[in-house]
Amino acid sequence: MNERDERLVRDALADQRRDQFADGFADRAAARWRASRAVDAAPVGALMTRQFVRLLPFAIAATLLLAVNNLRHREVDRGQTIVQALLGITPRTPSTPARAVTLYALYGLDASMLSPRE
């Protein structure tokens, strides 16, 4: 092949050559990107609902386990009702003086509020 033939081939292929993107390519690509993000992004309410539905069975199971455990350790001889047992409230006997409930006692940080198991 000589130089004239090479030039003719180059000229023939020059029309089909792509050195750059067509006009508006960046706008089209950005629009596609924005549309895909809008579809993928869910509102916070939908995410919270989905997580709630996923965790609800575990929360119910844990609640039932705690309730059954509290009922098993019910102190019938001390007059503990079923509701008190479910909530984990120890019964107060008439000989026990009433005490003010503090945050320390509520969260179990106060050692004086602990009642010994009999």
More confidently predicted of 20 and 41: 20
How much is the pTM?
A: 0.43
Instruction: Say what the pLDDT of residue 118 is.
Output: 46
Residue 110: the pLDDT is 65
pLDDT digits (tens, 9 = 90+) for 44-81: 888 899 999 999 999 999 999 988 888 888 888 877 88
- Average pLDDT for the chain: 80
In the chain, where the domains are located: 30-113
Distance CA 106, CA 90 (A): 13
Query: Closest Cα partner for 70 from 98, 99, 95, 91?
Result: 91
**pLDDT at residue number 53:** 95
